């Protein structure tokens, strides 16, 4: 009798386990009932507080990046006349059959580029250091959010639904 009872119990447990496997497979970390029916607007609304939490840090980083870009644009504008003169000299140097003029112009171009590079490094160092610190702050602030299963689930839903 005990063997029959054990066999029936084992069969019942196996059936229950087989019935539960699909349910367990759908148990995604961070999932909540109704997630699959969420619209992009609903996903965005649930993600909004996390985005607002990151906005000041990310905005400061973006501002620093814009400042660095503006400096680079200004440097390029300032270097244009010199670059145009070197291009004209390089074109004219091709008339020299000895190649000496081409070598001299090439060396002048390299020294000009090095001078501009060195100046940019020196001028931009404070902003580059600030940008590195801001980047680290963003990464540090984002780490707990990346570890949050609910946020990851919402991000996956947004990607699956092609939300922008």
pLDDT reported for residue 28:
80
Count Cβ atoms within 10 A of the Cβ of residue 128 and give its class: 0-12 exposed, 13-18 middle, 19 or more buried.
middle
**Cβ–Cβ < 8 Å for 31, 157:** no
Query: Model-level pTM greater than 0.85?
Result: no
Retrieve residue 46's tokens.
């649930």
From residue 38, give the alpha-carbon distance in Å to each of 25, 43, 52: 20, 6, 21
pLDDT in tens, the chain (164 residues): 444 444 344 433 333 333 333 343 356 888 999 999 999 999 999 999 999 999 999 999 999 999 999 999 999 999 999 999 999 999 999 999 999 999 999 999 999 999 999 999 999 999 999 999 999 999 999 999 889 999 999 999 999 999 98
At how many degrees (to 10) do helices 100-147 and 149-160 cross? Answer: 120
**Cβ–Cβ < 8 Å for 18, 122:** no
pLDDT reported for residue 15:
37
């Amino acid at each position: 009798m005990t063997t029959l009872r054990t066999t029936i119990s084992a069969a019942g447990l196996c059936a229950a386990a087989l019935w539960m496997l699909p349910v367990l497979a759908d148990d995604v970390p961070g999932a909540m009932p109704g997630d699959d029916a969420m619209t992009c607007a609903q996903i965005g609304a649930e993600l909004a507080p996390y985005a607002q939490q990151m906005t000041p840090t990310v905005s400061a980083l973006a501002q620093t990046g814009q400042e660095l870009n503006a400096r680079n644009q200004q440097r390029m504008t300032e270097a244009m006349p010199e670059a145009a003169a070197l291009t004209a000299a390089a074109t004219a140097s091709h008339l020299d059959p000895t190649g000496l003029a081409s070598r001299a112009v090439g060396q002048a171009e390299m020294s000009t580029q090095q001078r501009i590079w060195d100046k940019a490094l020196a001028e931009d160092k404070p902003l580059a250091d600030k940008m590195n610190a801001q980047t680290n702050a963003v990464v540090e602030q984002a780490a707990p959010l990346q570890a949050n299963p609910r946020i990851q689930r919402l991000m996956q839903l947004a990607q699956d639904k092609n939300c922008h």
